[in-house]
Amino acid sequence: MYETQTVALIAFLALIAGLAAGAWLVNKLSPSHQSRKALESHIQKLQRQQQDYQEQVNQHFNQTAELLNQMTESYRDVHNHLAKSAGELTSHGISPLQSLPEDRPVIQGEPLARPAEQPLDYAPRSPGYKGALDESYGLDKSNKKSEETVTAPSGL
């Protein structure tokens, strides 16, 4: 019949194959694996939603910018029409309205020669002089206090 070594080898290989198959099934059917897959799919879904939302925000702001530009152009057209009509229809031909330029104005300016400073929360003083917030500011200590008599108002 079969030799003992052959039977032992077959049994050992069957044991190894059974353990491998069992480990694979446990890994596939375990709740942690399923929950991990569910979490990964949920994260991917949230990422897609976030990307869609960002795209909607970008589209919204692009459309808002376009509408504001159109509104600005319409305002400029109305203003220029009023300025032209006011110039033509006034008796002296001079209108207080001036036409706006057709192109967008460019803000030009030179940088400040000296950077802007934060306002001081105290009264500045010259060196050697008392500042306006000094306790003795404006008081002459060399003169003696003149005695003043305080009288009560009459009729009390």
Per residue, the 3-state secondary structure of 26-65, as one string, reads HHHHCHHHHHHHHHHHHHHHHHHHHHHHHHHHHHHHHHHH
Q: Is the pLDDT of residue 133 over 90?
A: no
Residue 131 CA, chain-centre distance (Å), reads: 42
What mean pLDDT is predicted for residues 130-155? 64
42 compared with 132, residue with greater pLDDT: 42
Q: Is the pLDDT of residue 146 over 60?
A: no
- Residue 95 burial (CB count, 10 A): 16
What pLDDT, on a 0 to 100 scale, did the predictor assign at position 68? 92
What pLDDT, on a 0 to 100 scale, did the predictor assign at position 1? 56
CB contact burial 116-136 (16+ within 10 A = b; e otherwise): eeeeeeeeeeeeeeeeeeeee
Q: What tokens does 146 get?
A: 């003149």
Q: How confident is the model at residue 61 (pLDDT cuts 50, 70, 90)?
A: very high
Record the pTM: 0.40
Q: What tokens does 17 get?
A: 């194959």
What pLDDT, on a 0 to 100 scale, did the predictor assign at position 141? 64
Lowest mean pLDDT among 1-5, 34-38, 101-105: 101-105
Q: Are 29 and 37 in contact (CB under 8 A)?
A: no
16 compared with 132, residue with greater pLDDT: 16
The CA distance from 37 to 120, in Å, is 62
What mean pLDDT is predicted for residues 113-117? 72
Q: Is the pLDDT of residue 90 over 90?
A: no
Mean pLDDT over the full length of the chain:
78
Q: How confident is the model at residue 29 (pLDDT cuts 50, 70, 90)?
A: confident
Residue closest to 29 by CA, chosen among 40, 41, 18, 37: 37
The CA distance from 32 to 42, in Å, is 15
Residue closest to 100 by CA, chosen among 117, 116, 77: 77
